[in-house]
Amino acid sequence: MASAQVMNAPPIPDAVQPVKISPPLILYKPLHPTFGAEASADFSTITPELVDEIKRGLSKYGVLVFRRTGLDDARHVEMSKLFGDLDDIAPFVGGLGQKNRLSSDYLFDVGNVNPDGTVMQPGGMRDLLLRCNYHFHADSAFNPRRAGISLLLAHELPPPCLGGETEFADTRAAYQALDDARKDEIHDWVVCNSQLNCRRNANTDENGKLNPLLDTDEFDPMKHRFGKHRLVQEHEPSGRTNLYIAAHAHHVEGMSLEEGQKQLRGLLEHAGRPEFTFKVTWKDVGDLVVWDNTCTLHRSVPGNYAGKYKRDLRRTTVHDMSSQAWGLNGEGATWRSGLD
């Protein structure tokens, strides 16, 4: 009887039809009080809508950690292109003894695997250059057009507990924590960034002695161009203010070299304080970490895996698409740090 009543019931008017609610494209679980989230999404179909949602998540969190995405090189690159203009390694291939062992010039090889597939041994030139990555930095701060979003995908990982995490710092929170007088003081500073500065500092011992392999004009920051960017900038996606400081920062325009370097060291140490940082432990092949270089810093954590186990991580780098991408370097400049 009840079913007959249902069959004879008039149709529900459109106005009260139940609303179909789509599940969210990404679920977020915060990793730190001010930034970073573990995020879950379905990467089996990559759509512009998914990429837009990742961008929205980055605007708030700065760093997103996706586990076991199932992405490979080709889909990693394909998805990255939806974020904007991609940086490429073509200008660097062949220089400094580097060969590209990967399938695409859009993939930056930041792991420890040699072109012949063996584990990179400490002390070689490539190892010395990659030591810069142990220090907090923003990708491509040294180039005329800085990096916006980076996407780092795990292909092979060392056993657990041997180091190799990636640590992040929240530079919006670091700026916010400065007192008003300090904010006023640094407001108009222009920072001159050099990849060579970071590489030299990473290979200088506690007595100030530089590794002789880098004690050449080729690695002298003063003999090359600097990527100039304002220290204090609006992070356009969020409207918050960011402290754009990195280990590449060499001096402050218009300030003595010594004073500028002292000030920049202090600001970098401030941004790297424990309350502004957290570490991502890589767990599985396919783990993907996406971050916004214009509101965070990152560094690779050294460990006992070095020289023994492969840590094969590959990064795509999206040029900054904001109005401040080119800093004070002139829009359209094509030179690259260290190759000029």
Asked if residue 143 lies in contact with residue 337, where contact means CB atoms within 8 angstroms, the answer is yes
The candidate with the shortest Cα–Cα distance to 199, out of 268, 250, 148, 145, is 250
Nearer Cβ to Fe ion (25/229): 229
Nearer Cβ to Fe ion (25/109): 109
Q: Which stretch binds Fe ion (CB under 5 A): 63-71, 92-100, 138-146, 151-159?
A: 138-146
Q: Measured at CB, which residue is nearest to Fe ion?
A: 139
Task: Report residue 13 as tokens.
Answer: 């008017």
Nearer Cβ to Fe ion (136/326): 136
Minimal distance in Å, beta carbon 240 to Fe ion? 22
- Interface with Fe ion (CB under 5 A), residue total 1
Minimal distance in Å, beta carbon 103 to Fe ion? 21
For residue 228, the cross-strand partners are 192
Q: Which stretch binds Fe ion (CB under 5 A): 26-34, 133-141, 275-283, 326-334?
A: 133-141
Minimal distance in Å, beta carbon 77 to Fe ion? 18
Give residues 174-233 in contact with Fe ion (rule: CB under 5 A). none
Q: Which stretch binds Fe ion (CB under 5 A): 46-54, 122-130, 131-139, 262-270?
A: 131-139
d(CA 56, CA 46): 16
d(CA 307, CA 311): 10
Near Fe ion by CB under 5 A: residue from 109, 139, 170, 292: 139
Q: Which stretch binds Fe ion (CB under 5 A): 7-15, 135-143, 181-189, 282-290?
A: 135-143
Angle at 141 between CA 34 and CA 200, to 5 degrees: 110
Nearer Cβ to Fe ion (146/250): 146
Minimal distance in Å, beta carbon 139 to Fe ion? 5
Nearer Cβ to Fe ion (109/139): 139
Minimal distance in Å, beta carbon 52 to Fe ion? 24
Nearer Cβ to Fe ion (25/138): 138
Minimal distance in Å, beta carbon 315 to Fe ion? 7
One-letter identity of residue 52: D
Nearer Cβ to Fe ion (195/263): 195
- Would you count residue 292 as binding Fe ion (CB under 5 A)? no
Minimal distance in Å, beta carbon 136 to Fe ion? 10
Minimal distance in Å, beta carbon 152 to Fe ion? 8
Q: Counting beta carbons within 10 angstroms of the beta carbon of residue 162, is it exposed (0 to 12), middle (13 to 18) or buried (19 or more)?
A: middle
Minimal distance in Å, beta carbon 84 to Fe ion? 18
d(CA 137, CA 131): 12
Q: Which stretch binds Fe ion (CB under 5 A): 73-81, 134-142, 162-170, 273-281?
A: 134-142
Q: Which stretch binds Fe ion (CB under 5 A): 3-11, 117-125, 139-147, 281-289?
A: 139-147
The footprint of Fe ion (CB under 5 A) covers 139
